[in-house]
Structure 1
């Protein structure tokens, strides 16, 4: 069968069909006639066209490259326009032509070059990968470095250092708040009986709460009572922390405004200054909390703990990160809570909220009794033996009936009433009722 018969048409040498069924002729190099449907050796042409010849193989001169590799002529723009483009140029938002025009101009204009450099440096600050917020531990490191070089004439007592640090951290968080943040809603949480209790307020309301409760220490030290401003002839108010808070909320604008920061800040400074000037001493001055008392040294740690807890409440309300206290301060807070657990457990027993101690285990004050080993993990942790049968008993490893392990920050949040007791323990071993009673007693340490 011929090529015409099978439906295919022959191709010429450059891949084009001549439309004449291969009957045209062309001259060969030797002048002889050669049909288009055969090669020089009489074989038919290929169905697929051969590759085109390169211009480099023809011996002809190559095309001129002039104009192909030269950069386009930059735009000619007046100085005011070029100056207005510097911001976009610093952000890499100019077109290629505008970029070339600006960069050519910067080589000849010193003022624009200086402005461009400043803009580029500013853009670099805005695009830094790390956070622009100061390291929470920066203040502590700076103070330690300063005190190493020049110790203070009047040092802050060690038991007041955590209060000094936590109030300073909270004050640093508050300093840039606008009106919107000061009125952001905050839910105070604490544990009462067998369940969590809450109270809604604002950021300003939380600071007013801290002001009112810190006033218990201020009154004991002879400072002004924030509930009786300018009228110190009256008897100082010695109600419970919750009652003092409610009284301050009722007598001030409700909800309180950002103006509460000033009195709170001045009071914190006055407390630290007063305990420092009085020489610190053992810190045994009793501080009444209404239904119980704490010595001054423990009351300052207690106030540092509550300041941190409520600072986290505020940070959560404004969606801002907030780090835990320094490990040595965290350890002091945990130690105070561990020492308060036996009395809290006894109070729950008297209220019928904890398992009664077996009569055979009742011990006199100072005697060893059943104990629970409280293991707190983390940099601020340690181990404590908690007497289970009497607040005056002594913890004893020989009479250990249970062992419970918690993370340091998790334990503090349990003691603040922010973690359910059933979900707090990371590890438990031994008497389940004793473990449950101690965890619930830790949660009962919390208060408004």
Structure 2
């Protein structure tokens, strides 16, 4: 054997090429006839065909290269790569494959099995490939994690599955954000119920379709001791909220959506808007209402503490800005509930701390409402003359549930103090039931109330609560 061949590449091997039988050719005897250069047969990827033979052929007939094996039926042939020529004293490079003991079926490499995960997730692998992949997933944690993600993704492609999100998801996320993430410009605590309720209603409106803006909605309230109904649409309800919120905007020096000469009574303002917009649509009311509510929150956030006592006129009564925004939050919730009922959408009550403030506002307004009904002859006369600031007869109002509590409503004078020692009657109501009574959605007779004590006092207070409602 020519020792010069130890350090030189084989003369029949093109530089940078290596065939299945080049190891034999590299060490063939010098006495053989010089043959024409042989181009190595195309070689498939190691992952597809397994290792080359480790022993040289036995005779000259075996010098002919075997025919190339076709690629796997379900996969395109892998790109060919020619490895470097072998060095003396080394065996031919083997593919990244391992044969099972006893010469059984060969186990594909990690890369091959990883490339099959997508087909496995789609159930597009053959039985042998499926067995190999699943056996590999029990041994390889990264592939197992990727396979789980692919299976979850494939599950979303199922045509019979409803891809709509849980309708309460937006509300839960919103409530969590409002409760945990502080605003860049802190919203005053007394304005947070209005901020939260307008945001919740805006989320509902974003979820409904264009056609649902024309769904009929019944506005209900009490007037003169009798229930009153007014039919409108979802767009009409938002127009109503837009116009009444405009009273707060005007008190803050902002633009009134109805102009400077608009009336102050909520009912008159709404009627004027509905006449101007014979059939309001979403584009005419949603964005203006949302922008106005955002402007109100930004304005009171920058204005400071003194703005809370600013007076807001509603024609026949006035409220401080702090109570006015609380009243607007209450009405926003009630009308959002009306809309949700019309479009078959789930809607929860406000968070407990906000609902407690709404109930407290109604309880503080009850003595004046009761006195007004007395002046109109709709309630029994006061039984005692009570000096301002002195305790007189009272009714114990117990509101049950989150946001509830105990209030003592003075019965003989709005200026008197309610006291547990002078309570002559007790009424127990669920928190939502009481709010529906104050909103005029249920009549005093229909209110599921636990009653004890002076029946006339109980009746007067329940009807006074219903008289707080308005359009």
| Both proteins in one fold, TM over 0.5 | yes
Partner residue in 2 for 1:441: 464
Partner residue in 1 for 2:226: 195
From the superposition, tell whether residues 127 and 187 of structure 1 become closer, same or farther in structure 2 (CA, over 3 Å).
Answer: closer
Instruction: Confirm whether residue 376 of structure 1 aligns to residue 399 of structure 2.
Output: yes
CA distance in 2, matches of 1:101, 1:340: 68
Deviation at 1:280, TM superposition (A): 3.4
Q: Which moved more, 1:420-429 or 1:433-442?
A: 420-429
CA distance in 2, matches of 1:116, 1:153: 41
Instruction: Confirm whether residue 104 of structure 1 aligns to residue 135 of structure 2.
Output: no
Partner residue in 2 for 1:120: 155
Structure 1 stretches of at least 4 aligned residues deviating more than 6 Å after TM superposition: 113-117
Contact 1:216–1:287 (CA under 8 A) maintained in structure 2: yes
Partner residue in 2 for 1:310: 335
Partner residue in 2 for 1:277: 302
Partner residue in 2 for 1:400: 423
From the superposition, tell whether residues 127 and 238 of structure 1 become closer, same or farther in structure 2 (CA, over 3 Å).
Answer: closer
Trace 1:343-354 onto structure 2 (pairs within 5 A). Answer: 343-354=368-379
Deviations 1:359-401 (A, max 9, x none): xx12232222110011111110011110011111111222211
Deviations 1:4-56 (A, max 9, x none): xxxxxxxxxxxxxxxxxxxxxxxxxxxxxxxxxxxxxxxxxxxxxxxxxxxxx
Name the SS for the 1:165 alignment partner: helix
Deviations 1:271-304 (A, max 9, x none): 0000000013361100000100000000000000
Deviation at 1:409, TM superposition (A): 1.0
2:312 to 269, 273, 287: 287
From the superposition, tell whether residues 153 and 316 of structure 1 become closer, same or farther in structure 2 (CA, over 3 Å).
Answer: closer
Partner residue in 2 for 1:326: 351
Instruction: Confirm whether residue 301 of structure 1 aligns to residue 326 of structure 2.
Output: yes
CA distance in 1, matches of 2:318, 2:309: 11
1:131 to 159, 166, 172: 166
CA distance in 2, matches of 1:349, 1:157: 37
Deviation at 1:142, TM superposition (A): 2.0
CA distance in 2, matches of 1:290, 1:241: 8
From the superposition, tell whether residues 324 and 104 of structure 1 become closer, same or farther in structure 2 (CA, over 3 Å).
Answer: same
Instruction: Confirm whether residue 237 of structure 1 aligns to residue 262 of structure 2.
Output: yes
CA distance in 1, matches of 2:430, 2:307: 30
Contact 2:239–2:280 (CA under 8 A) maintained in structure 1: no
CA distance in 1, matches of 2:152, 2:297: 47
Deviation at 1:128, TM superposition (A): 8.6
Contact 1:249–1:256 (CA under 8 A) maintained in structure 2: no
Q: Which moved more, 1:196-205 or 1:416-425?
A: 416-425
Contact 1:401–1:430 (CA under 8 A) maintained in structure 2: yes
Partner residue in 1 for 2:40: none
Contact 1:186–1:200 (CA under 8 A) maintained in structure 2: yes
Aligned length: 338
Structure 2 unaligned regions, length at least 5 = 1-72, 76-121, 134-146
CA distance in 2, matches of 1:367, 1:226: 44
Deviations 1:157-189 (A, max 9, x none): 111000000000000000132221000000000
Contact 1:179–1:258 (CA under 8 A) maintained in structure 2: no
Partner residue in 1 for 2:190: 159
Contact 2:369–2:467 (CA under 8 A) maintained in structure 1: yes
Deviation at 1:116, TM superposition (A): 8.2
Contact 2:392–2:418 (CA under 8 A) maintained in structure 1: yes
Partner residue in 1 for 2:433: 410
Instruction: Confirm whether residue 143 of structure 1 aligns to residue 166 of structure 2.
Output: no
CA distance in 2, matches of 1:375, 1:249: 39
Name the SS for the 1:281 alignment partner: helix
2:286 to 258, 261, 267: 261
From the superposition, tell whether residues 101 and 221 of structure 1 become closer, same or farther in structure 2 (CA, over 3 Å).
Answer: closer
Deviation at 1:103, TM superposition (A): 4.8
CA distance in 2, matches of 1:249, 1:256: 11
Let me know the Cα RMSD of the aligned residues.
Answer: 2.9
Instruction: Confirm whether residue 170 of structure 1 aligns to residue 201 of structure 2.
Output: yes
From the superposition, tell whether residues 101 and 225 of structure 1 become closer, same or farther in structure 2 (CA, over 3 Å).
Answer: closer
